[in-house]
């Protein structure tokens, strides 16, 4: 039987999704029996030119992780879409923007400035910015340009399936891959590698609902009781508004869920859903008291939209379309630091 | 023809034996409760004075079989005003308990929980002012918890519907679909507001139906015409932040949520749920570089008769003066 | 008032307060302080030239702060005496008034408060009432909306001698209101504020409505009420007349008054009970019939004069039916609204009654009092031996006992009303009450418990309430078991705890101690004295091993015959459940402990014959 041609690409990502694939462990042997890896920049030595040269639809399955941050990411998204029969947005960066998309709060210019010049641990007294075209003695080295907004994969190209998670749990990954490999495919556009309902469904902690929260706690501000619901103890846990699939791993480690599996089925805006659930038990009999309790939530956007900002409705407000951030220079050798 | 009425003194004693009903027999039927009660605006047959009087007379069957005892939502607008200090909502509760004991059933509507979607997160239990919904072992799979409604306590305020992060709860008349339909009916969203280059600011207003006492007050809001789309909700706590964001995304200049003042919420805590959501939304919009003034919670006090008109006017004025939001993208 | 001022036998001391009252009926000595007017009374002729030139304007309390007065002024044009006075808190001492006064030279900034001591035979208290402030009822908007006023304010606005010379104007814009809503029972008949009905508001509301209708034929008036109370002569006809003149009466207590900010009009929401429908009535002016409440200094005055107060705070009469104008203290009489809200005819009638009761005292050389007074044995009183005590003085509701260390306690016989509280409280048995001595009462206990005491319930009852209640039980033919035996004292304060102990020592099955309800005590605070003692007694009995249910304390009024019968029945049933041997056992075991408590009686020669048959301390048989 013809082996499946499998590609894995990482755009703007941390590498965790690639490690999630490696964590398949012994399953990799089974995978190797049915599939060949034709492109995996993280793990193999294939080149961009090779994949660009392939025929359309010649890749059976591409697992694309990472968000679209640069014009190169966008380029590869388009390339891989053309070359792949099935394109899967793999991991939260690809499905919903994940952590990189938090950069959209302040924008690309701010991110660039902060990372290259203003960060405390950076030494860049002349404030030299990276540029698109670096002239080295050996030739010119192009650097990808930052797009004004970080985007999820599906905002750039049509996506066939999504496997959320930061990273997706390796058991779920194997289940999803097996499903795809076996051809037992659900409707296009479905989310794979998830369990029904939300994390609360898989969480063993006790919940009564008969509490009132008078302040919210950040994880370092107390020691949570391992048997009782974290939200009911005042720690903001994204469990109620997060799709199940990870087996409530973080909660098992006495840490609140942060929402990396994205919103539950049918919910468009994870942050709004979570926010409603979080303010549900608020203690307060006056405006001043309510505001005082809300003040204990540090960074609402980061808390409620930590992984899902790019995919949210909030994100569509005030966001600017635009492609690349023009980066000015063509640096000559003498201008190097 | 006069019908002989059975008057059972034991019934009155039964009601008086429970907390809140101690002064039942001193009720002089002054009508203060009937006058302040907002439930009457929507259910003209509901008259707390009459129910109490019937209970005091001992008209057992008439009271227990009536629909009225199920309509009181324990907002307690009447209790602080009762000159005999009768805790009317508690008496209603007592009558309901007695009725249930006699086999009467609460008429509803009740929220329906889709147990395939519900994860038992208990957010609904936390928000419910009446402890009428909460997690319990699921009938089909006892290893799981799902939300169960206590029909003897539920007063169908709809707060649980808005709070459920999975969208697992539905309640007649108060569904997401209903709300979206009301917002967009008549192509209202297609008309350009100021942000979209139109001549005037256009504002979506979610109004708690209890916060506006009289038809006269509603009528005063009609003068804004199409500039304002008024959507009545059973409680400001029922407002869904996702719908607010969606509406803003559709080009509405601003969203106003009007809810009751601190001690006056018809469902006790709903106004705080509504406010919390709006205040957090404001913070988040500001973080994203979008003007937080475009979403506002306006408190409506029972003492301010034409507050609805004033709130809308203030909001439109603010929206008329705001420039377009500019994301912080300058290089 | 002017006639009163001119009468040779009447002296009006205005601007004066009572500081201290000592003594007793016929012989009060009253200490008064006259506050300075800064105007010499003899010289001021009431011309008002000073007021004309005074530059300082302050709110006028007589006009309910609607209109101003000057720093030097009289309360109103008909004030008696018509002498001006200066409000020193606001006067800037510019001396313009002095100049205007001219040759009369009546102004004197150096005036000081003057003390006065008077020998007085009788006192009549007619200090009136105050008005409830409706600000505490937020739903009526008083204090928030300018066009919501009280009835008193309306009186001033409608009065032809008032600040608007009788033209009715509304506060927000000075325009004549074309519609008026009147709300009754504001602060009255309301458990949150005052439970009582103020009695005269229905009439004055109707009066104001009729008057305004006469002045302004087209004015639209609506009165919101719970009940219309027009009981006296001609009142119901007056109410009918009001209805016929087109004044609208709506039976329904308003729940909310809100304002239309554009016009200043008010909208009153109430359920019209007859229609069964909530209506909203718009009115340009709203008048609140606010409750009549006791004066703010009622407590202070009550302490000075040893007056009791009813639960409503008004001064309490000796007996609501039989002596309605007498205060509990002999020689002090009550008249008018100070005793309870009432209208003018009733106040006038009470005034005459109080005056005639007072005149009775003044027309006699001697005054008869009851003989059941208390007397101190100076040899037994330890205060006479230089020790500090004073327990008796603290128990006296009338302040009739004076205790000075080194001297025996002194009882002012004329002030003693015979409650017996001091007798029972004295730890050294130094006081006895005539006709209710310890010897007499102990003899009764002994006689009643002679035969089969363990089958008996011994009941100590106070003369005015519980004894009368037991009497009522009899005359009303309420049945109860024949196991009770009663002992009458004047007040439960007389019921010594030692009597109860002696009763158990003599073998009683059960003991009932009863008295008045707290607010009904004939001797003002006697019941409290008794109640405290019985609480302590309860724990004492427990420690001695007497079962708690064998000692019962009940407050039974004269009308509660049914209650008395029920209590005795319950106690009898409880008693029947005991084995008589068990009763005897408990009593026997408690006897030595009781005897120790009663040892002072062992030394009292007057009681020798009482204890002959059952001595307190038995010699142990060898």
- For the cut 80, the answer to whether the pLDDT of residue A335 exceeds it is no
Chain B contact present for A239, CB below 8 A: yes
Band (pLDDT 50/70/90 cuts) for residue A318 is: low
- Looking at chain B, the whole-number percentage of residues with pLDDT higher than 70 is 97
pLDDT tens, C196-237? Answer: 999 999 999 999 999 999 999 999 999 999 999 999 999 999
* A112-141 mean pLDDT: 85
Q: Which helix (H) or strand (E) holds A73?
A: helix A71-83
Q: Do B265 and B305 meet the contact criterion of CB atoms below 8 Å apart?
A: no
CB atoms within 10 A of CB C120: 15
Closest CA to C537 of C515, C512, C557, C558: C512
pLDDT tens, C153-188? Answer: 999 999 988 899 989 999 999 999 999 999 999 999
Q: Does the distance separating the beta carbons of C252 and B35 come in below 8 Å?
A: yes
Q: Assign residue B261 a region: left if phi > 0, alpha if psi is -120 to 50, beta otherwise? A: beta
Band (pLDDT 50/70/90 cuts) for residue B173 is: confident
Band (pLDDT 50/70/90 cuts) for residue B331 is: very low
Fold (topology level) of C122-365: FAD/NAD(P)-binding domain (3.50.50)
- Max CA pair span of chain C: 105
Identify all chain C residues contacting B262, using CB atoms and an 8 Å cutoff: none
- C neighbour chains, 3+ CB pairs within 8 Å: B
User: Cβ-count burial of A13 within 10 angstroms (0-12 exposed, 13-18 middle, 19+ buried)?
Assistant: buried
Residue recorded with tokens 């919420």: B265
Interface test with B, best of A200, A231, A297 (most B CBs within 10 A): A200
Q: Does the distance separating the beta carbons of C267 and B83 come in below 8 Å?
A: no
Residue B216 has what pLDDT?
A: 84
Identify all chain A residues contacting B127, using CB atoms and an 8 Å cutoff: 280-281
As given in the structure block, the two tokens for residue C485 are: 């035996």
User: Cβ-count burial of A302 within 10 angstroms (0-12 exposed, 13-18 middle, 19+ buried)?
Assistant: middle
Identify all chain A residues contacting B330, using CB atoms and an 8 Å cutoff: 109
Chain B contact present for C175, CB below 8 A: no
Q: How far apart are CA C261 and CA C264, in angstroms?
A: 5
Residue B329 has what pLDDT?
A: 40
Q: Which domains can be identified in chain B, with CATH numbers?
A: 9-101 (no CATH), 112-170 (3.30.70.3270), 176-320 (3.40.50)
Identify all chain B residues contacting A117, using CB atoms and an 8 Å cutoff: none
* C15-40 mean pLDDT: 94
Fold (topology level) of C437-607: Rossmann fold (3.40.50)
Residue B236: φ, ψ to 5°: -65, -20
As given in the structure block, the two tokens for residue B28 are: 């002089």
Q: How far apart are CA B237 and CA B157, in angstroms?
A: 9
* CATH class of the region C372-435: alpha beta
Give span(s): CATH 3.40.50.700, chain A.
4-100+150-182
Chain B contact present for C226, CB below 8 A: yes
Residue A327 has what pLDDT?
A: 53
pLDDT tens, A28-43? Answer: 999 999 999 999 999 9
Which residues does residue B233 pair with via DSSP β-bridges, in sequence order?
B208
Chain C contact present for B83, CB below 8 A: yes
Of the CATH numbers 3.30.70, 1.10.8, 1.10.20, 2.40.128, which one belongs to the domain with range C36-112?
3.30.70
Residue C58: φ, ψ to 5°: -130, 160
Q: Do C409 and C392 meet the contact criterion of CB atoms below 8 Å apart?
A: yes
Residue in chain B closest to C224 (alpha carbons) equals: B30
Band (pLDDT 50/70/90 cuts) for residue B328 is: very low
* C394-423 mean pLDDT: 92
Identical topology for domains C36-112 and C437-607:
no
* A92-110 mean pLDDT: 91
Residue B316 has what pLDDT?
A: 94
Q: How far apart are CA C353 and CA C361, in angstroms?
A: 13
The distance of B34 to chain C (nearest Cα, Å) reads: 6
Identify all chain A residues contacting B129, using CB atoms and an 8 Å cutoff: none
Task: Say which of B135, B246, B262 has its CB closest to residue A286.
Answer: B262
ipTM computed for the complex: 0.88
What burial letters (b/e) apply to B236-266, b meaning 16+ CB within 10 Å? bbbbbbbbbbbbbebbbbbbbbbbbbbebbb
- For the cut 70, the answer to whether the pLDDT of residue A281 exceeds it is yes
Q: How far apart are CA A199 and CA A204, in angstroms?
A: 10
Q: How far apart are CA A47 and CA A38, in angstroms?
A: 10
Chain B contact present for A300, CB below 8 A: yes
Q: Does the distance separating the beta carbons of B83 and C192 come in below 8 Å?
A: yes
Q: Does the distance separating the beta carbons of B33 and C190 come in below 8 Å?
A: no
Identify all chain A residues contacting B275, using CB atoms and an 8 Å cutoff: 287, 290
Question: Would the pTM of this model clear 0.95, i.e. be above it?
Answer: no
Task: Say which of A244, A280, A294 has its CB closest to residue B123.
Answer: A280
Residue in chain C closest to B80 (alpha carbons) equals: C192
Q: How far apart are CA C334 and CA C347, in angstroms?
A: 10
Q: What is the CATH number of domain A4-100+150-182?
A: 3.40.50.700
Identify all chain A residues contacting B162, using CB atoms and an 8 Å cutoff: 276
Band (pLDDT 50/70/90 cuts) for residue B330 is: very low
- The string of DSSP codes covering B178-218 is HHHHHHHGGGGGGS--GGGT-SS--EEEEEETTT---HHHH
- Report strand pairing: B145-149 vs A330-331: unpaired
List for chain C the helix, strand, coil content (%; round to 5): 35, 20, 45
Going from the C-alpha of C497 to that of each of C467, C503, C530, the distances in angstroms are 19, 10, 9
Q: How far apart are CA A36 and CA A8, in angstroms?
A: 11
Identify all chain C residues contacting B84, using CB atoms and an 8 Å cutoff: 191
Closest CA to B161 of B150, B145, B177: B177
Average pLDDT, chain C: 93
Residue A125 has what pLDDT?
A: 86
Band (pLDDT 50/70/90 cuts) for residue C529 is: very high
Band (pLDDT 50/70/90 cuts) for residue C566 is: very high
Interface of B with A in 265-304 (CB under 8 A): 272-273, 275-277, 279-281, 283-285, 287-290, 299
For helices B176-184 and B241-249, the axis angle rounded to 10 degrees is: 30
- For the cut 60, the answer to whether the pLDDT of residue C136 exceeds it is yes
* Residue A169, helix vs strand vs coil: coil
* B241-267 mean pLDDT: 91
Which residues does residue C457 pair with via DSSP β-bridges, in sequence order?
C484, C510
Domain boundaries, chain C: 36-112, 122-365, 372-435, 437-607
List for chain A the helix, strand, coil content (%; round to 5): 35, 20, 45
Q: Does the distance separating the beta carbons of B275 and A287 come in below 8 Å?
A: yes
Chain B contact present for A201, CB below 8 A: yes
Chain B contact present for C192, CB below 8 A: yes
Task: Say which of A197, A273, A287 has its CB closest to residue B262.
Answer: A287
- For the cut 60, the answer to whether the pLDDT of residue A332 exceeds it is no
Distance between first and last Cα of chain C: 87
Residue A1 has what pLDDT?
A: 63
Residue A71: φ, ψ to 5°: -70, -25
Q: How many CB pairs under 8 A join A and B?
A: 194
Q: Would the CA dihedral through A324, A327, A328, A334 be positive or negative?
A: negative
Distance from CA of residue B43 to its chain's centroid? Answer: 15
Task: Say which of B31, B81, B83 has its CB closest to residue C273.
Answer: B31
- Looking at chain A, the whole-number percentage of residues with pLDDT higher than 90 is 65
Identify all chain A residues contacting B295, using CB atoms and an 8 Å cutoff: none
Q: Does the distance separating the beta carbons of B36 and C189 come in below 8 Å?
A: no
Q: How far apart are CA A260 and CA C86, in angstroms?
A: 80
As given in the structure block, the two tokens for residue B102 are: 């006699």
The distance of B261 to chain C (nearest Cα, Å) reads: 14
Residue in chain C closest to B83 (alpha carbons) equals: C190
pLDDT tens, A219-254? Answer: 999 999 999 999 999 999 999 999 999 999 999 999
Chain C contact present for B32, CB below 8 A: yes
Residue A322 has what pLDDT?
A: 53
The distance of C67 to chain B (nearest Cα, Å) reads: 28
Interface test with B, best of C270, C278, C280, C290 (most B CBs within 10 A): C278
Residue A323 has what pLDDT?
A: 53
A156 or A142: which leads in pLDDT: A156
């Amino acid at each position: 039987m013809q082996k499946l041609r499998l590609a894995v690409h990482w755009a703007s990502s941390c590498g965790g999704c690639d490690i999630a694939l490696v964590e398949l462990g012994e399953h990799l042997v089974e995978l190797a029996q049915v599939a060949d890896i034709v492109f995996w920049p993280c793990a193999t030595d294939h080149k961009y030119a090779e994949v660009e040269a392939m025929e359309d639809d010649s890749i059976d399955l591409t697992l694309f992780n990472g968000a679209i941050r640069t014009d190169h990411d966008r380029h590869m998204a388009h390339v891989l879409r053309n070359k792949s029969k099935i394109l899967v947005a793999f991991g939260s960066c690809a499905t919903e923007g994940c952590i990189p998309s938090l950069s959209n709060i302040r924008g690309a210019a701010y991110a660039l400035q902060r990372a290259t010049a203003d960060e405390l641990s950076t030494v860049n007294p002349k404030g030299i910015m990276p540029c698109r075209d670096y002239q080295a003695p050996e030739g010119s080295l192009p650097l990808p340009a930052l797009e004004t907004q970080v985007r999820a994969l599906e905002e750039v190209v049509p996506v066939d399936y999504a496997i959320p998670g930061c990273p997706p749990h390796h058991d779920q990954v194997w289940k999803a891959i097996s499903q795809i490999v076996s051809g037992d495919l659900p409707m296009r556009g479905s989310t794979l590698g998830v369990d029904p309902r939300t994390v609360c469904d898989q969480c063993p902690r006790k919940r009564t609902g008969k509490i009132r929260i008078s302040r919210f706690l950040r994880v370092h501000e107390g020691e949570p009781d391992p048997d009782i619901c974290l939200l009911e103890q005042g720690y903001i846990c994204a469990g109620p508004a997060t799709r199940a699939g990870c087996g409530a791993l973080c909660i098992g480690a006495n840490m609140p869920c942060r929402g990396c599996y994205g919103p539950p089925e049918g919910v468009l805006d994870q942050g709004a859903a979570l926010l409603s659930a979080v303010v549900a038990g608020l203690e307060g009999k006056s405006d001043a008291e309510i505001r005082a309790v809300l003040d204990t939530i540090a960074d609402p956007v980061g808390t409620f939209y930590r992984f899902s900002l790019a995919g949210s409705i909030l994100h569509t407000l005030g966001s600017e379309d635009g492609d690349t951030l023009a980066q000015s220079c063509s640096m000559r050798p003498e201008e190097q630091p | 023809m006069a019908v002989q009425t059975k008057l059972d003194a034991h019934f009155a004693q039964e009601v008086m034996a429970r907390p809140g009903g101690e002064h039942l027999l001193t009720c002089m039927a002054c009508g203060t409760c009937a006058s302040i009660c907002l439930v009457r605006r929507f259910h003209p047959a509901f008259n707390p004075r009459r129910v109490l009087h019937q209970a005091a007379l001992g008209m057992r069957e008439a009271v227990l079989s009536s629909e009225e005892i199920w309509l009181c939502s324990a907002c307690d607008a009447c209790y602080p005003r009762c000159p005999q200090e009768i805790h009317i909502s508690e008496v209603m509760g007592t009558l309901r308990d007695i009725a249930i004991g006699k086999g009467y059933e609460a008429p509803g509507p009740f929220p329906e929980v889709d147990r395939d979607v519900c994860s038992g997160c208990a957010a609904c239990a936390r928000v419910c002012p009446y402890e009428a919904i909460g997690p319990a072992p699921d009938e089909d799979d006892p290893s799981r918890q799902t939300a169960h409604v206590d029909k003897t306590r539920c007063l169908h305020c709809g707060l649980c519907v808005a709070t459920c992060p999975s969208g697992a709860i539905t309640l007649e008349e108060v569904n997401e679909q209903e709300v979206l339909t009301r917002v967009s009916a008549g192509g209202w969203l297609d008309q350009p507001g100021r942000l979209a280059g139109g001549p005037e600011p256009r504002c979506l207003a979610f109004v708690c139906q209890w916060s506006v006492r009289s038809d006269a007050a509603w009528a005063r809001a009609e003068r804004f015409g199409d500039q304002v789309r008024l959507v009545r909700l059973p409680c400001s706590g029922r407002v869904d932040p996702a719908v607010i964001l969606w509406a803003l995304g559709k080009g509405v200049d601003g969203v106003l949520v009007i809810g009751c003042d601190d001690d006056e919420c018809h469902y006790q805590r709903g106004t705080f749920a509504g406010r919390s959501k709006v205040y957090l939304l404001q913070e988040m919009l500001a973080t994203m570089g979008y003007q937080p003034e475009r979403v506002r919670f306006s408190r409506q006090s029972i003492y301010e008769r034409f507050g609805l008109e004033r709130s809308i006017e203030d909001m439109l004025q603010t929206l008329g003066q705001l420039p377009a939001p500019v994301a912080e993208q300058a290089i | 008032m002017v006639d009163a001022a001119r009468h040779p036998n009447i002296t009006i001391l205005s601007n004066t307060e009572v500081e201290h009252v000592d003594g007793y009926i016929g012989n009060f000595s009253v200490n008064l302080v006259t506050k300075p007017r800064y105007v010499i009374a003899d010289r001021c002729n009431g011309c008002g030239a000073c007021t004309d030139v005074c530059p300082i304007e302050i709110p006028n309390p007589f006009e309910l702060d609607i209109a101003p007065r000057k720093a030097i002024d009289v309360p109103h044009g008909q004030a008696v005496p018509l002498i001006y006075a200066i409000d020193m808190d606001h006067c800037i001492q510019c001396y313009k008034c002095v100049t205007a006064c001219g040759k009369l030279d009546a102004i004197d900034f150096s005036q000081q408060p003057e003390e006065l001591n008077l020998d007085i035979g009788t006192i009549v208290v007619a200090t009136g009432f105050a008005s409830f402030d409706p600000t505490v009822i937020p739903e009526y908007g008083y204090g928030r909306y300018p066009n919501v006023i009280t009835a008193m304010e309306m009186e001033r606005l409608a009065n032809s001698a008032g600040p608007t010379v009788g033209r009715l104007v509304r506060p927000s814009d000075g325009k004549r209101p074309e519609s008026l809503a009147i709300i009754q029972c504001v602060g009255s008949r309301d458990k949150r504020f005052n439970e009582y009905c103020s009695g005269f508001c229905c009439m004055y509301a109707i009066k104001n409505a009729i008057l305004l209708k006469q002045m302004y034929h087209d004015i639209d008036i609506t009165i919101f009420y719970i009940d219309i109370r027009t009981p006296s002569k001609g009142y119901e006809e007056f109410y009918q007349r009001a209805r016929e003149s087109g004044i609208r009466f709506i039976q329904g207590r308003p729940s909310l008054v809100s304002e239309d900010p554009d016009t200043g009009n008010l909208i009153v929401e109430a359920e019209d009970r007859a229609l069964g429908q909530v209506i909203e009535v718009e009115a340009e002016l709203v008048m609140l019939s606010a409750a009549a409440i006791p004066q703010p200094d009622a407590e202070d005055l009550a302490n000075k004069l040893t007056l009791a107060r009813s639960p409503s705070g008004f001064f309490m009469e000796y007996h609501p039916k039989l002596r309605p104008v007498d205060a509990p203290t002999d020689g002090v009489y009550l008249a008018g609204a100070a005793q309870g809200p009432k209208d003018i005819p009733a106040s006038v009638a009470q005034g005459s009654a109080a005056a005639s009761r007072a005149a009775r005292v003044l027309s006699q050389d001697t005054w008869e009092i009851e003989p059941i007074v208390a007397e101190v044995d100076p040899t037994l009183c330890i205060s006479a031996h230089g020790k500090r005590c004073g327990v008796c003085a603290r128990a006296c509701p009338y302040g009739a006992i004076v205790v000075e260390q080194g001297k025996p306690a002194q009882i002012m016989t004329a002030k003693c009303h015979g409650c017996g509280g001091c007798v029972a409280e004295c730890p050294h048995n130094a006081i006895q009450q005539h006709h209710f001595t310890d010897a007499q009462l102990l003899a009764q206990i002994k006689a009643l418990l002679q035969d089969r005491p363990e089958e008996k319930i011994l009941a100590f009852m106070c003369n005015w309430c519980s004894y009368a209640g037991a009497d009522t039980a009899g005359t009303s033919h309420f049945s109860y078991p024949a196991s009770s035996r009663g002992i009458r004292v004047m007040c439960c304060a007389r019921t010594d705890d030692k009597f109860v102990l002696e009763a158990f020592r003599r073998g009683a099955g059960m003991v009932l101690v009863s008295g008045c309800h707290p607010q009904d005590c004939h001797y003002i605070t006697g019941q409290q004295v008794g109640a405290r003692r019985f609480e302590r007694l309860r724990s004492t009995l427990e420690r001695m091993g007497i079962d708690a249910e064998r000692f019962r304390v009940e407050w039974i009024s004269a009308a509660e015959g049914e209650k008395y019968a029920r209590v005795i029945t319950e106690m009898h049933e409880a008693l029947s459940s005991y084995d008589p041997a068990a009763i005897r056992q408990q009593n026997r075991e408690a006897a030595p402990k009781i005897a120790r408590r009663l040892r002072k009686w062992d030394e009292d020669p007057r009681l020798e014959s009482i204890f002959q048959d059952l001595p307190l301390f038995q010699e142990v048989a060898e």
